């Protein structure tokens, strides 16, 4: 067997490869890999070969990834996310194309890959290389680098989609306060800054009292505890919020629906508090409340690209970008366990060069 070697930088790739012919080099790379041992799931840095990657049209040299709750579930052995192990998590990845069987995206181009099956049952961004279908790749917006893209990642994409749906339903600052549940999390924090930048009066709902100042720095005018969404027997409560972004699901979402003003909307994108929704139809038929489901995984590529372009332009969130924390692969285990404990906050970027 030929000795494995590192890929050349994309700019050094041969002309034939730029036209779409694939390379046959077998290259080693580092990845944070999860294995099952005696019924327990453990992650560690391992050396892999590109020959081990799944088949696909595009090989990408990943420089940055982003940490998400779904990554933590995968790393913990959740079979609803990842069916078989060993496995490399990482539902987000950004980097440069080094092989392209179709010629589009072209070798040397910078791309973002989020969602679809990446990091679930297809080896993901916690490795230095991924191989994926061309249809999963979004061109990097002008002015962005891979790190900036991964500051937003799936969480930012989801926040943007949530806010976009509210705007599509006619939400405006004049209507009143907008609530954001799970405000300290990656999705919630981006949603707060984006809504505040758009002129909305944002109420952050968080179980982390020590994060109140940072949430106000992002633009929240008020921070309340999660007891604001504690379970109540009444089917309807006093309408407090004009609209809302819910990132947690479960009982908090049911209680939030009871507190939305007539004609208001709630974008729903998470399930950290549980996938069940126990409610009545009264918020919908007596107040005309709209419950808007948000999918950031399987949506068409142009929809993802539209949100990325907005974040690179008029939706830019400079405070989120400035506060993001970078880690290396050696720090992944601790960071992912913090997600499962509900102790993670803000945006965390995996830098493969650390």
**Among 109, 28, 125, 155, residue whose Cα is nearest residue 351:** 125
- Tell me, what's the pLDDT at 22? 47
Give 97's contacts (C-beta < 8 A, 6+ positions apart). Answer: 10, 58, 59, 60, 61, 105, 106, 107, 108, 109, 110, 111, 137
Place of tokens 């999390």: 185
* CA–CA separation, 6 and 77 (whole Å): 31
Task: Summarize pLDDT for 250-261 with one digit per residue, the tens.
Answer: 999 999 999 999
Q: Which two tokens stand for residue 320?
A: 């989120």
Domain with CATH 3.90.180.10 in the chain: 10-140+324-351
* CATH hierarchy code of domain 154-293: 3.40.50.720
Mean pLDDT, rounded, for 67-76: 95
* CA–CA separation, 141 and 312 (whole Å): 7
Domain with CATH 3.40.50.720 in the chain: 154-293
Q: Is the pLDDT of residue 209 over 70?
A: yes
DSSP code of residue 234: S
Mean pLDDT, rounded, for 141-167: 97
What is the architecture of the domain spanning 10-140+324-351?
Alpha-Beta Complex (3.90)
- Contact by Cβ (8 Å): 183, 203: no
Q: To 10 degrees, the CA torsion angle through 13, 309, 134, 34?
A: 90
Task: Summarize pLDDT for 318-340 with one digit per residue, the tens.
Answer: 999 999 999 999 999 999 999 88
Mean pLDDT, rounded, for 278-284: 97
Q: To 10 degrees, the CA torsion angle through 103, 107, 109, 111?
A: 80
Task: Summarize pLDDT for 232-251 with one digit per residue, the tens.
Answer: 999 999 999 999 999 999 99
- Tell me, what's the pLDDT at 2? 38
Q: What is the pTM of this model?
A: 0.90
Q: For the chain, how are helix, strand and coil distributed in percent, rounded to 5?
A: 30, 25, 40
**Among 222, 292, 220, 221, residue whose Cα is nearest residue 256:** 292
């Amino acid at each position: 067997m030929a000795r494995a070697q590192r890929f050349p930088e994309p700019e050094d790739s041969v002309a034939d490869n730029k036209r779409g012919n694939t390379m046959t080099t077998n290259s080693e790379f580092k990845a944070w890999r999860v294995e099952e041992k005696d019924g327990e799931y453990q992650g560690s840095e391992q050396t892999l070969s590109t020959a081990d990657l799944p088949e696909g049209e595009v090989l990408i040299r990943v420089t940055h990834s982003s940490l998400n709750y779904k990554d933590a579930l995968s790393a913990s052995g959740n079979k609803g996310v990842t069916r078989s192990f060993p496995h490399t998590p990482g539902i987000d990845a950004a980097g440069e194309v080094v092989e392209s069987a179709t010629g589009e995206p072209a070798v040397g181009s910078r791309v973002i890959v989020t969602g679809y099956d990446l990091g679930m049952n297809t080896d993901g961004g916690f490795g230095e290389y991924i191989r994926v279908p061309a249809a999963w790749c979004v061109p990097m917006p002008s002015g962005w680098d891979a790190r900036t893209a991964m500051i937003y990642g799936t969480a930012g994409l989801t926040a943007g989609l949530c806010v976009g749906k509210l705007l599509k339903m006619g939400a405006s600052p004049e209507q009143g306060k907008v609530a954001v549940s799970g405000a300290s999390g990656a999705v919630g924090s981006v949603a707060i800054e984006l809504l505040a930048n758009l002129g909305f009066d944002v109420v952050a709902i968080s179980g982390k009292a020590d994060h109140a100042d940072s949430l106000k720095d992002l633009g929240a005018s008020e921070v309340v505890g999660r007891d604001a969404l504690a379970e109540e027997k009444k089917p309807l409560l006093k309408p407090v919020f004009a609209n809302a972004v819910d990132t947690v699901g479960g009982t908090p979402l049911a209680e939030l629906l009871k507190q939305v003003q007539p004609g208001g909307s709630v974008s729903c994108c998470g399930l950290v508090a549980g996938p069940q929704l126990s409610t009545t139809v009264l918020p919908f038929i007596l107040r005309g409340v709209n419950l808007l489901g948000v999918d950031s995984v399987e949506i068409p590529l142009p929809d993802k690209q539209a949100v990325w372009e907005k974040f690179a332009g008029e939706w830019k969130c400079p405070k989120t970008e400035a506060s993001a924390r970078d880690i290396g692969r050696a720090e992944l285990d601790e960071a992912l366990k913090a997600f499962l404990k509900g102790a993670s906050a803000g945006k965390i970027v995996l830098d493969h060069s650390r």
